[in-house]
């Protein structure tokens, strides 16, 4: 970190001792997993810096934003429309949910057999380890899986900051109307919170900012189709994870600079690994930061991850919002329909997801797909069986959590799968 942020963390009520321990573990893991990689693009230096300051400089930026009367809005799901938050000059942040932290505390409120992502966001808050949660003026949840729905009730008792958007379970006409109403209600909620009106002008700007961010992530994804691949799966994952924390305009610029460099690598036929590596697409549950386990195992087993069919991945950037609208109401409709293209396993039926996996595998020239479900995540676990039966390419199902206990066992299974692909 560039400086000592103890005072800032103290003012946020963080548990300083435990927080120090968390940062040490995070920094050691980052050194071992990330900084030990060879041939990393120069452009990753920016993202290394962001990680080193994830609880420092970025929190200070949020603090400054709040001093300037901007509101900080925390989220846990790609269904929450970032465009509306930016349109009221709010700051959008994904909250800490990717590490086995505060589970003991969390298990006093939710059952042991709850998915790691839910236990982590409860645990980070209860253990006083998430400066982002402390910075928020509002935390927006969504009625996706049952676990989240019920956990948000408890999270509201703890934080008193929750607002929950109702996400339909299906995508019929009546569901579209329900969702459009929810997006309109969210607009009003944000306008009341910030005492700012969403105008055509600020909505258009916000839609454009988020579209540009998604375009940059798409550009990065396309570059991973080359062989040799110009960037590791671990690095690309990190960029996707940071997309939920960083200032969106600065982030887009840095991703585009990275892509410029990767394009040069492609022209020179240079890669981060030698040509001909086994190429894997991962599909399934999200990878909240610092969940790097699966990518690390695959890339240390002689293969490369070329894509993530995930909310921290293609589900977040695949579709853009149509920028052609001439009233705020029309803009809200465009935003609502864009979000309803997200193929979360919480929907039924969700057959477009299978097509999206097939298309992505083809576009990225992947040799096989590893389906990753967080343990106790019923929607993704159930869907993985169905996909397994419907695809005609090498497919492997994995259920895991944030702990390192199954590291060896996973590595053995993945190595066996990779052998079948050679
Ligand atoms: S749109 S995937 S970000 S809900 S892993 S908490 S589903 S039991 S995170 Fe998700 Fe939005 Fe869907 Fe994406 Fe529940 Fe599963 Fe846990 Fe999950």
Residue-level pLDDT at 77: 98
> Residue 124: is its pLDDT beyond 90?
yes
Residue-level pLDDT at 173: 98
Provide the percentage of residues in the chain whose pLDDT is more than 90.
99
Contacts of 403 (CB under 8 A, 6+ apart): 100
Predicted confidence band of residue 394 (pLDDT cuts 50, 70, 90) = very high
Does the beta carbon of 312 sit less than 6 angstroms from any atom of ligand 1? Answer: no
> Residue 283: is its pLDDT beyond 90?
yes
> Residue 36: is its pLDDT beyond 90?
yes
Cα(294)–Cα(96) distance, integer angstroms: 19
Question: Which CATH architecture best describes the domain 207-320+344-421?
Answer: 3-Layer(aba) Sandwich (3.40)
Pairing of strands 162-165, 138-142: parallel
pLDDT tens-digit series, residues 146-179: 999 999 999 999 999 999 999 999 999 999 999 9
Cα(303)–Cα(278) distance, integer angstroms: 5
Domain positions in the chain are: 207-320+344-421
Residue-level pLDDT at 1: 82
Predicted confidence band of residue 240 (pLDDT cuts 50, 70, 90) = very high
Pairing of strands 138-142, 303-309: unpaired
Ligand 1 centroid, distance to 228 Cα (angstroms): 32
Residue of 140, 374, 384 to test ligand 1 pocket, by largest number of atoms within 8 Å of CB: 374
Predicted confidence band of residue 376 (pLDDT cuts 50, 70, 90) = very high
Cα separations (Å) of 278 from 171, 223, 275, 398? 37, 16, 9, 18
Cβ distance 360 to 318 under 8 Å?
no
Residue of 114, 286, 308, 309 to test ligand 1 pocket, by largest number of atoms within 8 Å of CB: 286
Residue-level pLDDT at 2: 78
Helix (H, G, I), strand (E, B) or coil at 76: coil
Q: Give the max Cα distance, the chain.
A: 59
E strand intervals along 267-385: 278-284, 303-309, 368-374
Cα(47)–Cα(246) distance, integer angstroms: 10
> Residue 196: is its pLDDT beyond 90?
yes
Cβ distance 407 to 293 under 8 Å?
yes
Cα separations (Å) of 337 from 171, 178, 179? 10, 12, 9
pLDDT tens-digit series, residues 293-313: 999 999 999 999 999 999 999
Ligand 1 centroid, distance to 249 Cα (angstroms): 26
E strand intervals along 355-404: 368-374, 395-400
What's the N-to-C CA distance of the chain in angstroms? 43
pLDDT tens-digit series, residues 329-365: 999 999 999 999 999 999 999 999 999 999 999 999 9
> Residue 422: is its pLDDT beyond 90?
no
């Amino acid at each position: 970190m560039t400086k000592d942020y103890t005072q800032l963390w103290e003012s946020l009520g963080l548990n300083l001792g435990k927080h120090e321990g968390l940062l040490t573990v995070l920094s050691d893991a980052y050194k071992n997993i990330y900084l030990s990689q060879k041939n990393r693009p120069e452009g990753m230096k920016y993202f290394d810096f962001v990680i080193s300051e994830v609880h420092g400089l970025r929190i200070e930026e949020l603090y400054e934003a709040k001093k300037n009367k901007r509101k900080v809005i925390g989220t846990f799901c790609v269904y929450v429309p970032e465009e509306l938050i930016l349109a009221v000059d709010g700051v959008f942040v994904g909250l800490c949910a990717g590490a086995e932290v505060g589970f003991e505390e969390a298990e006093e409120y939710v059952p042991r057999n709850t998915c790691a992502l839910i236990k982590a966001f409860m645990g980070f808050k209860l253990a006083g380890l998430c400066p982002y949660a402390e910075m928020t003026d509002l935390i927006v949840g969504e009625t996706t899986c049952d676990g989240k729905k019920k956990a948000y009730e408890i999270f509201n008792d703890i934080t008193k900051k929750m607002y929950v958007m109702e996400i339909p379970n299906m995508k019929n006409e009546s569901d579209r109307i329900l969702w459009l109403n929810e997006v309109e209600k969210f607009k009003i909620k944000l306008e009341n919170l910030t005492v700012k009106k969403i105008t055509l002008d600020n909505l258009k700007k916000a839609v454009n900012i988020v579209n540009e961010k998604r375009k940059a992530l798409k550009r990065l994804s396309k570059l991973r189709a080359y062989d040799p691949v110009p960037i590791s799966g671990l690095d690309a994952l990190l960029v996707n994870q940071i997309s939920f924390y960083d200032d969106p305009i600065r982030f887009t610029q840095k991703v585009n600079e990275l892509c410029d460099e990767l394009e040069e690598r492609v022209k020179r036929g240079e890669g981060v690994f030698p040509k001909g590596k086994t190429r894997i697409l991962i599909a399934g549950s999200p990878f909240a930061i610092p969940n790097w386990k699966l990518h690390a195992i695959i890339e240390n087993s002689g293969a490369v991850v070329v894509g993530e069919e995930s909310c921290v991945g293609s589900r977040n950037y695949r579709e853009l919002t149509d920028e052609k609208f001439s009233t705020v109401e029309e803009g809200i409709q465009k935003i609502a329909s864009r979000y309803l293209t997200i193929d979360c396993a919480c929907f039924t039926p969700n057959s477009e997801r299978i097509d999206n996996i097939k298309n992505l595998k083809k576009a990225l020239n992947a040799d096989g797909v590893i389906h990753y479900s967080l343990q106790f995540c019923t929607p993704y676990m159930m869907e993985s069986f169905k996909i397994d039966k419907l695809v005609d390419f090498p497919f492997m199902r994995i259920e895991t959590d944030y702990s390192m206990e199954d590291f060896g066992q996973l590595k053995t299974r993945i190595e066996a799968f990779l052998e079948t692909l050679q």
